[in-house]
């Protein structure tokens, strides 16, 4: 449990660092950054896979596919579901749909709590239920403020939950399964990088990108590996609740970048900030008991 908590929190911090980096990746656009991110992440994820001695998990997956070829469809579906989420995250700001997608990320942990309760009979502690109620109040305010939920909101909230449930059911919720997802996404990522006008010239012509793109790959590889490890080590409901740490950190990064929280947004962010604090207290109490 404690390893899962540490992995989730560390992943959230690294995702916050990647968010802070994003403005410095100009002149690449969002979809080009998606392509470079996947291609730059794959070598570092491969190094992690081999360095942690988990290459055998990939071989076991290959053996399972040979014994049950239908599993290959599940693996392709898993990679496609992850790819859609990574693409949507970068597509939305470019097309004026950032708000519906952000609402989906606020709703996602609550859907995960429900899925964990219904599908895996998971139980939450009293403080975790309190955090769920606080977060639910903040999300309810945001839904009312946004005037409903669009297809992008549902795609994030239901799609990511389905992705993590599928990984558990396929028994691919480990680094080997994550590496395979990234490998299967590589052709789509290469298309985003090479499609006209190719971004190869942009990267070659801007010296700062020679460093930032590999750093992006390294941070992404470590963050995603920790995130997937947390998904395996924690109950789905608690893993979902801890997902609120990331948007809180992203909000803090946004404040550092000069943005501000409007007065009408505090009924959304305030309860969620308190919910994260409650989760921290719950984690500290668990640590003390152990």
Label each residue of 255-290 as H, E or C: HHCCCCCCHHHHHHHHHHHHHHHHHHHHHHHHHHHC
Distance CA 146, CA 136 (A): 15
pLDDT at 72: 93
pLDDT at 257: 58
pLDDT at 69: 92
In which residue ranges of the chain is pLDDT below 70? 1, 19, 90, 93-94, 96, 99, 246-247, 249-259, 261, 287, 290
pLDDT at 270: 84
Contact between 135 and 83 under an 8 Å Cβ cutoff? The reply is no
Q: Which two tokens stand for residue 215?
A: 């750093």
Q: Which two tokens stand for residue 135?
A: 């977060």
Distances from the Cα of 194 to the Cα of 11, 65, 84, 131, 221, angstroms? 29, 31, 19, 45, 22
Whether this prediction's pTM lies above 0.85 is answered by no
pLDDT at 65: 94
pLDDT at 183: 95
Instruction: Tell me the residue length of the chain.
Output: 290
Give the distance, in angstroms, between the CA of residue 279 and the centroid of all CA atoms in the same chain. 19
Distance CA 69, CA 86 (A): 27
pLDDT at 189: 93
């Amino acid at each position: 449990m404690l390893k899962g908590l540490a992995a989730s929190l560390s992943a959230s911090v690294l995702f916050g660092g990647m968010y802070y980096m994003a403005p410095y990746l100009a002149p690449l656009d969002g979809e080009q950054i998606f392509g470079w991110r996947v291609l730059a992440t794959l070598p570092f994820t491969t190094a992690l896979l081999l360095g942690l001695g988990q290459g055998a998990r990939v071989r076991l997956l290959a053996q399972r596919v040979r014994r049950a070829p239908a599993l290959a469809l599940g693996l392709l579906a898993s990679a496609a579901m992850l790819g859609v989420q990574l693409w949507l995250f970068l597509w939305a700001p470019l097309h004026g749909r950032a708000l519906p997608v952000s609402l989906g990320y606020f709703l996602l942990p609550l859907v995960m709590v429900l899925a964990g309760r219904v599908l895996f009979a998971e139980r939450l502690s009293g403080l975790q239920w309190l955090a769920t109620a606080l977060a639910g109040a903040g999300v309810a305010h945001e839904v009312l403020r946004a005037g409903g939920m669009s297809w992008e909101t549902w795609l994030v909230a239901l799609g990511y939950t389905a992705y993590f449930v599928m990984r558990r059911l396929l028994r691919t919720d480990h680094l080997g399964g994550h590496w395979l997802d990234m490998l299967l996404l590589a052709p789509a990522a290469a298309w985003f990088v090479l499609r006209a006008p190719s971004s190869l010239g942009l990267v070659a012509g801007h010296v700062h990108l020679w460093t930032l793109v590999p750093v992006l790959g390294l941070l992404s590889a470590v963050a995603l590996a920790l995130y997937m490890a947390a998904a395996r080590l924690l109950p789905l409901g608690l893993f979902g609740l801890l997902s609120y740490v990331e948007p809180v950190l992203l909000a803090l990064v946004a404040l550092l970048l000069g943005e501000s929280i409007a007065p009408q947004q505090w009924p959304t962010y305030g309860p969620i900030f308190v919910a994260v604090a409650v989760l921290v207290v719950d984690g500290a109490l668990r640590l003390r008991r152990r």
